[in-house]
């Protein structure tokens, strides 16, 4: 195509006039290129500014956003109140099954991302007919090692009390067949427990009380004047692979780097830090992850070592245990900011099923096998693949083959299962 056609100019045969048009066209092209370069440079400068060390933002006037106006470590209380949720449809402690989260994707590439998605306030806490087991395991863990699993620093205490109040308001509305609101707190209609949240001092660490109410583990991050968020309150009773005492008091980056989270520095740190600083009380997000475990303990995976050992690692796990010992462990995490204290709350709900059970579901063995094969060396090391990969993949391939032979239409998977299910 000729230059004049490409640029929408007339087809001029006069040589002098034609060269004039060419000169104009080239000037237009040069101007456009210069504009693009200027815009790129501005974006680079903005990116460099956002990744630099945190400094207290300047005060703004007029319509500046609240989080841009405040100083790091100080949160002006918000008037936001989470809407009262509607009751969970037909919820029953006998018949409501756990949601089938299967948060893995086909290879060949494994993407390391935060994987956040927006959720409605009504979806904050998920309870199901596994509640009795979780409740019993938590009660046992609190009795045996409550001081090691439930901690609240003085500066996080107001946030922990606020979380207890939020759960007290939410749970009876969402699960009225399990919880009943009382003038001083709430009653668990199944267990017979009564919780008085008005007593001062409270009878126990408020994070510990919160843990008794839900199936989730809970953590609160508090912002300090350096602009970083620190783990200063937690009830981590069913963690599987980590201990609250190892992470308590750490800043957000150190929590992840001390645990050797793959590609945290390169792909996660900047986005995660910015998210924590900007998240508003009216926003709620969720994310899912998954692990494989080669023992059946929901609370602590003893195959990686005794819980009180100085060092725990996948290196202690028995290699290639029979598939009956393999468990699929999936977490659904939610994040939201508490409006009064400004603390950011994690809820960490673990779903725990034998891999032999999960692999019976249509499409799951093929997709999971592909996902496991997509792990790079760093992710494989982090998830312990070397200890179970051979047995697991052989089993998953066999189950996938069985599903195809019985007529499973692989082309319909996207209609049947959508991430993270």
**Contact between 66 and 332 (Cβ < 8 Å):** no
pLDDT-wise least confident of 46-60, 131-145, 203-217, 330-344:
46-60
pLDDT over threshold 90, residue 3: no
The closest of 208, 84, 112 to 157, measured between CA atoms, is: 208
The percent of residues in the chain predicted with pLDDT above 90, rounded, is: 72
Which of residues 256 and 361 earns the better pLDDT score? 361
Please report the pLDDT score of residue 275 as a whole number.
84
Please report the pLDDT score of residue 269 as a whole number.
78
Q: Mean pLDDT, to the nearest integer, of 386-400?
A: 97
The closest of 209, 223, 216 to 161, measured between CA atoms, is: 209
Q: Give the tens place of pLDDT for each residue, 144-193.
A: 999 999 999 999 999 999 999 999 999 999 999 999 999 999 999 999 99
Q: How confident is the model at residue 41 (pLDDT cuts 50, 70, 90)?
A: low
Q: How confident is the model at residue 268 (pLDDT cuts 50, 70, 90)?
A: confident
Q: How confident is the model at residue 42 (pLDDT cuts 50, 70, 90)?
A: low
**Contact between 211 and 160 (Cβ < 8 Å):** no
Please report the pLDDT score of residue 37 as a whole number.
47
pLDDT-wise least confident of 41-55, 119-133, 228-242, 344-358:
41-55
Q: Give the tens place of pLDDT for each residue, 291-320.
A: 999 999 999 999 999 999 988 899 899 999
Please report the pLDDT score of residue 127 as a whole number.
98
Please report the pLDDT score of residue 7 as a whole number.
35
pLDDT over threshold 70, residue 75: yes
Q: Mean pLDDT, to the nearest integer, of 116-130?
A: 95
Please report the pLDDT score of residue 310 as a whole number.
87
Q: Give the tens place of pLDDT for each residue, 209-252.
A: 999 999 999 999 999 999 999 999 999 999 999 999 999 999 98
Phi-psi region of 288 (alpha: psi -120 to 50; beta: other; left: phi over 0): beta
Q: Mean pLDDT, to the nearest integer, of 100-112?
A: 90
Query: What separation in angstroms does the CA of 84 have from each of 87, 172, 206?
Result: 9, 10, 22
Please report the pLDDT score of residue 68 as a whole number.
54
């Amino acid at each position: 195509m000729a230059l004049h056609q490409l640029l929408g100019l007339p087809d001029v045969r006069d040589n002098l006039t034609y060269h004039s048009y060419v000169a104009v066209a080239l000037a237009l092209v040069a101007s456009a290129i210069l504009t693009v370069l200027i815009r790129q440079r501005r974006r680079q400068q903005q990116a460099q500014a956002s990744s630099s060390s945190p400094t207290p933002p300047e005060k703004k006037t007029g319509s500046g956003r609240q989080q841009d106006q405040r100083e790091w470590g100080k949160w002006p209380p918000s008037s936001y109140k989470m809407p009262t949720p509607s009751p969970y449809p037909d919820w029953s402690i006998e018949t409501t099954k756990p949601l089938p989260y299967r948060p893995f994707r086909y290879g060949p590439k494994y993407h390391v991302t935060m994987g956040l998605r927006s959720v409605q306030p009504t979806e904050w806490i998920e309870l199901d007919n596994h509640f009795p087991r979780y409740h019993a395991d938590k009660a046992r863990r609190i009795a045996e090692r409550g001081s090691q699993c439930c901690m609240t620093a003085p500066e996080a205490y107001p946030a922990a009390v606020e979380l207890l109040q939020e759960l007290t308001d939410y749970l009876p509305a969402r699960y009225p067949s399990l919880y009943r609101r009382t003038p001083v707190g709430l009653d668990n209609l199944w267990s017979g427990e009564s919780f008085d949240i008005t007593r001062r001092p409270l009878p126990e660490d408020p994070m510990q009380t919160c843990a008794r109410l839900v199936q989730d583990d809970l953590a609160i991050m508090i912002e300090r004047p350096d602009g970083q968020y620190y783990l200063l309150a937690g009830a981590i009773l069913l963690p599987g692979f980590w201990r609250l005492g190892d992470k308590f008091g750490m800043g957000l980056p150190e929590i992840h780097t001390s645990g050797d989270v793959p590609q945290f520095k390169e792909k996660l740190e900047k986005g995660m830090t910015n998210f924590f600083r900007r998240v508003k009380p009216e926003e709620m997000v969720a994310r899912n992850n998954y692990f494989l475990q080669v023992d059946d303990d929901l609370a602590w995976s003893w195959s990686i070592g005794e819980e009180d050992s100085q060092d725990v690692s996948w290196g202690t796990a028995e290699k290639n245990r029979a598939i009956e010992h393999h468990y699929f462990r999936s977490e659904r995490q939610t994040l939201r900011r508490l409006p009064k204290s400004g603390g950011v709350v994690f809820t960490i709900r673990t779903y725990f099923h034998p891999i032999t059970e999960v692999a019976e579901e249509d499409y799951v063995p093929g997709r999971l096998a592909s996902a496991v094969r997509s792990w790079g060396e760093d992710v494989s090391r982090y998830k312990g693949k070397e200890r179970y990969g051979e047995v697991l993949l052989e089993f998953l391939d066999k189950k996938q083959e069985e599903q195809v032979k019985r007529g499973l239409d692989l082309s319909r998977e996207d209609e049947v299962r959508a991430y993270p299910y």
